[in-house]
Amino acid sequence: MNINNDLLATALYYIRHYWRQIVASLAVFLIVGIVLTLMEKTYELYISRAKFIPYETRKESQSILPYLYMGRKEIPPEQKLLAMIASRKVIREFVDSTGYRFYIEEKSPPKMKILSIDVKEIPPQETLTVRVNGDNPYVEIRADREGDVKLIFLTPQQAAERFYRKLHIRVMNIQEMLGISRNVESPMVAEENLKVVIFQLSESDPYIKNIVEEFSRFILRYNIRDKTLKYQNSKRFISRQINNYMEELDKINYQIRIFRLRNAYVEIDRKSPAWAELLELERQKIEIETEINFLRRWLDQEEGLEYIITSDRLLKERLKMLYSLQDSLNLMEVLYGKESPQYRIMEGRFRKLRESLRNMVRERIKNMDSRLQFIKLKEKNLKNMIGRSMENEKEALTLQARKKAIEDILTLLSQRLEEIRIEEAEVVPDFKVMEVDMERVIRGRHWKRNLFASLLFALLFAISYILIVEYTSNTVRDPDEVAIKLNIPKEKLYEIPYIEEEDEMPINILLKGLRNKLIQGSAALEAFRIIALREIINRNIRKTGATSSIQGEGKTFFLINLAAVLAMMNKRVVIVDGDMRKKNISEIFHVKDSDGLSNIIEGVDFQSIIHPVRETLHIVAAGKRFIDPIAIFSSPRYDDFMEFLEKKYDYIFVDIPPVLNVAETTLTIEKLGKVFFIIRASFTQVEAIERALSMLEEEDIIAHILNSVGFTRTGYYRYYRYYRNYYYNRSS
């Protein structure tokens, strides 16, 4: 969202800045477009239209034979008609059958209007010249006056392609065609969804109406022929289907007769004796398997007699005997003890009887296994018998169902065949020709196209102009461009406006004592006063300077005027010329040949190098001798001198060199702490400004000053000449 807002702001800025060029470009290109449109030649064009109303004829019996139409979508009638008219096959057949394989190469006289062209026979030659309203064995032409017509005959393929390219088709609602609103009910229109297909051809002569009429009749004949062919194909298809199903029905009837002869079957239900016997066998099998499992577990684990479960009578009697003998044994143990002879005799009898029981159990298991196998075999045979009966019944039912289905299909196919015969006898086209009309129009002047192209080219030219200007002069002109190109927020940017009159500069107001200017005020004076108040006084910055990217950006101009504003506020201000190479301040105030900053390392008196301009404004020159600036600014004497100035003055301003290509600038900024960064409008390249800002820390810059907005290079040096002349006259 922020990116979109930035792009919108950038676009609005450039529109606001270049609106004059954009308007001029639009005006020029619009005038050119209008002139070119008026110069275009006009010509007559005859447009003939045939209007078809498609409608639903008798539908195929999809409800009777749905399996024949599975996956088939119902196509709207207007789409069927569109496909027929736009078919290259149909157009090729039309030009072949009617002979419309020509186009008019030349007419004599040119203004002659051809009313009709009737092709009797295709001539053997490609080019044919015909006398109108005369007798010709190949072509008969009628026109509004006498003359000759030169015709060029094409091959069928070429004629069909030319016809196809000139063809225009569209579909309209009947209400739209009649100009009736959809919200208004009209008694003229019974169906509001009725569509109209409009077929259109255009030529420079009115004979085109004959071609459209002939094509309309051809479409009607083609549609009837196509439908008749479809009916014949449908009849052949359904007849083949009937024959196939009849053969299938004969086969099924034969299978049913053979099955009844060879497989007499009975109906099986849950109450039949076979099902009862099968259930009884299943019950016996479960009982035997359960008893065998219990008996085997008793043999394996030798558990107590209570775990023996059986239905055998002998085993039950033997168990009763064991139960009685076990009770007697327990009684002997209580009366005589386990070591007594009576107990031992009874125990021996118990063991023999128990071993006899184990043998009986083994024999019982063996007999029951044999019986279980017999039951399983019998169960299997019974299930096979029941299964065969059920399969026979299922097969018989399947044959009967297939027979019934085929008989139903044969009935439906016979019904559909009869319907097709009725429809074929009453065949009608799928559409009606509503009317064939012709319209004469004047063409040639494309106002909309030319004006749109003019606007488009004007915008492209304006955009190209803006891009070229911005690319070739990559500078900043106003605060908006500074924010866009340098990404400097407006709250850290101040603008010094172009000064029309020299007496509006703060330094001149101070030197000349122009009190009335203080009362009247000016944009330049207020700009400097705002900077002084906000950035110097309110932030209590007593020592600062001004630098820039390159020479000529007005840092000296800014510094002396800012100092003048503070001096007019009765603040003691001193300006130090720290640009040892250019010495702009020393030159402006005519102290270039005086001792100055370069002499402090020689031990001169600090007060002797200070030159008064006004009572509250003093100057420190750069000095007569040139000494390495790094040696000066890194000297302890420079630090002592700055301490001396801080005790004597309220504010100290140092004019320092530009950042680029000068070594001592960063050292000077470190000594001062904070400086103003000057940017001259429409002067410095953006790349230079960005490179200079990258060499400084953000906290080193008090504020960015956009200087001389609308200020020219000659204007800048005009101020320098004014300073020199003023001080020269003053000193004289």
pLDDT > 60? residue 731: no
Q: How confident is the model at residue 617 (pLDDT cuts 50, 70, 90)?
A: very high
Q: How many CB atoms lie within 10 A of CB 210?
A: 19
Q: Which helix (H) or strand (E) holds 467?
A: helix 447-472
pLDDT > 50? residue 711: no
* DSSP-assigned letters across all residues of 90-111: HHHHHHHHH---EEEEEEESTT
Which one is predicted more confidently, 397 or 664?
A: 664
Q: How confident is the model at residue 11 (pLDDT cuts 50, 70, 90)?
A: confident
Q: Specify the pLDDT at position 308.
A: 65
Instruction: Copy the structure tokens of residue 244.
Output: 């196939």
Which one is predicted more confidently, 118 or 317?
A: 118
pLDDT digits (tens, 9 = 90+) for 463-503: 887 777 776 777 888 888 888 888 888 888 999 987 777 88
pLDDT > 70? residue 505: yes
Most confident of 120-129, 565-574, 687-696: 565-574
Q: How confident is the model at residue 272 (pLDDT cuts 50, 70, 90)?
A: low
pLDDT > 70? residue 357: yes
Q: Specify the pLDDT at position 638.
A: 92
pLDDT digits (tens, 9 = 90+) for 332-344: 776 777 788 888 8
- Burial level of 209, CB count in 10 A (0-12/13-18/19+)? buried
Q: Specify the pLDDT at position 710.
A: 57
From 189-198, 427-436, 507-516, the region with the lowest mean pLDDT: 189-198
pLDDT digits (tens, 9 = 90+) for 245-260: 888 888 888 887 777 6
Amino acid code (one letter) for 476? V
Rounded-to-integer distance, Cα 721 and Cα 725, Å: 6
Q: How confident is the model at residue 304 (pLDDT cuts 50, 70, 90)?
A: low
Instruction: Copy the structure tokens of residue 649.
Output: 């003055």
Percent of the chain with pLDDT over 90: 17
Q: Residue 2, SS3? A: helix
| Mean pLDDT, range 432-446, rounded to an integer | 81
Most confident of 302-316, 430-444, 534-548: 534-548
| Mean pLDDT, range 262-285, rounded to an integer | 63
pLDDT > 70? residue 387: no
Q: Specify the pLDDT at position 349.
A: 84
pLDDT > 80? residue 712: no
Q: Specify the pLDDT at position 608.
A: 92
Residues 6+ apart with CB under 8 A from 596: 577, 586, 609, 620, 621, 622, 623, 624
Q: How confident is the model at residue 721 (pLDDT cuts 50, 70, 90)?
A: very low
Contact 321, 339 (CB under 8 A): no
* Structural domains in the chain, sorted by start: 2-40+445-472 (no CATH), 46-228 (no CATH), 273-425 (no CATH), 479-731 (3.40.50.300)
pLDDT > 80? residue 56: no
- Burial level of 276, CB count in 10 A (0-12/13-18/19+)? exposed
Q: Specify the pLDDT at position 684.
A: 84
- In degrees rounded to 5, what are phi and psi of residue 388? -65, -40
- In degrees rounded to 5, what are phi and psi of residue 309? -120, 120
pLDDT > 80? residue 550: yes
Q: How confident is the model at residue 263 (pLDDT cuts 50, 70, 90)?
A: low
- Cα angle 294-299-305, degrees, rounded to a multiple of 5: 70
Residues 6+ apart with CB under 8 A from 631: 601
Q: How confident is the model at residue 305 (pLDDT cuts 50, 70, 90)?
A: low
Kindly report the pTM of this predicted structure. Answer: 0.46
| Mean pLDDT, range 127-144, rounded to an integer | 88
298 HSE (CA, 13 A, CB side) = 22
Contact 201, 220 (CB under 8 A): no
pLDDT digits (tens, 9 = 90+) for 153-199: 999 899 889 888 888 898 888 777 676 555 545 444 445 568 889 98
Alpha helix ranges (H) inside 502-606: 506-512, 515-520, 523-531, 555-568, 584-588
pLDDT > 90? residue 380: no
Q: Report the candidate in 387, 393, 375 with the shortest Cα–Cα distance to residue 277.
A: 375
What is the DSSP code (8-state) at residue 189? -
Q: How far is CA 379 from CA 73, 154, 267, 268, 282, in A?
A: 58, 91, 20, 16, 8
pLDDT > 90? residue 645: yes
Percent of the chain with pLDDT over 70: 85
Which one is predicted more confidently, 504 or 650?
A: 650
| Mean pLDDT, range 79-94, rounded to an integer | 87
From 207-216, 605-614, 709-718, the region with the lowest mean pLDDT: 709-718
Q: Specify the pLDDT at position 69.
A: 47
| Mean pLDDT, range 717-722, rounded to an integer | 40
Mean pLDDT, rounded, of the chain: 81
Q: Specify the pLDDT at position 70.
A: 44
pLDDT > 50? residue 448: yes
Q: How confident is the model at residue 429 (pLDDT cuts 50, 70, 90)?
A: confident
| Mean pLDDT, range 549-564, rounded to an integer | 92
